[in-house]
A = this chain, B = another copy of it.
């Protein structure tokens, strides 16, 4: 049987990127005319149908929604999936899950696959690489063709669609304020690189909390980690080179590495240094000492995302289109890695 022609295959045959093929087929002026014509001619010759989304619209009501996440071995994203499943099932929908592995190409390919008649709409959290590139043409196109889309957690302002986020600035502020309340004065922050929106926003919250408490911001107290794999070593080096009495980490892995490093260097948590994390996963709960964390309520984020998407899918077409952003409030779970309030 002849395998179906896909974006990937066209890209490979013509030795261009997937994004280039995708854009050329939509006649994007970003792609030079010669390349565009070549790609279009090739696709036409092999009978490739670029308008899969439009095609699938004709046979709508698969009663299935797709969710694309950047990582799967990750407690927050799995709880979001659980939340989506819960609401979707209650409302008679099936759920298909795809992974982008934080790759832009995989995100584009996943959307192509899911839009190809398998699903009625998407729930998506952006791949790291997509945010780094700032290339969102695949999302815009889905929306243009009438395919509803809900972004969660890792979202982007420039795309008009429904969104479910937490208030990262407020969450981080809450965490740092808690450290200040228990007496910390030199608070380190362990964050991610700035193009990951949450890293940037949480850094903003950190700064705001310090400012409101008249504590000077010190650039040297911020560590930005690019690769999860090297994080343990980086955190060890960072903490051995700065004297702190509090640590705010943007995820629980970083927080736990901080606790381990501090303990190994003879410091006591929380007596000498209080540590607070973000994302309330199994690790935080089960760790000894139990980790104080900002909880993201992944389950609720998933539930709200599914509700928004299904609302869109079931509205009558005459209703006017408008987009909502739902902000799920963060909580603070106080455990034993931070000192008690005086």
Contacts and interface: CB of A to CB of B under 8 A. Distances in A.
Contact of A287 (B63, B109, B263, B287): B287
Interface in A258-299: 260, 263, 282-283, 286-288
Nearest to A118: B118
Contacts of A286: 256, 260, 283, 287
Is chain A's interface secondary structure helix, strand, loop, or mixed overall?
mixed
Contacts of A109: 94
A156 B92 CA distance: 30
Contacts of A62: 4
A335 B64 CA distance: 44
A82 B78 contact: no
A174 to B, nearest CB: 24
A113 B97 contact: no
A74 to B, nearest CB: 8
Contacts of A164: none
Interface string A169-192: 000000000000000000000000
Interface in A91-119: 92, 94-99, 101, 106, 109-110, 113, 117-118
Which residue of A78, A81, A85, A287 has the most chain B CB atoms within 10 A of its CB atom?
A: A78
Interface of A: 1-4, 6, 8, 59-64, 72-75, 78-79, 81-82, 85, 89, 92, 94-99, 101, 106, 109-110, 113, 117-118, 256, 260, 263, 282-283, 286-288
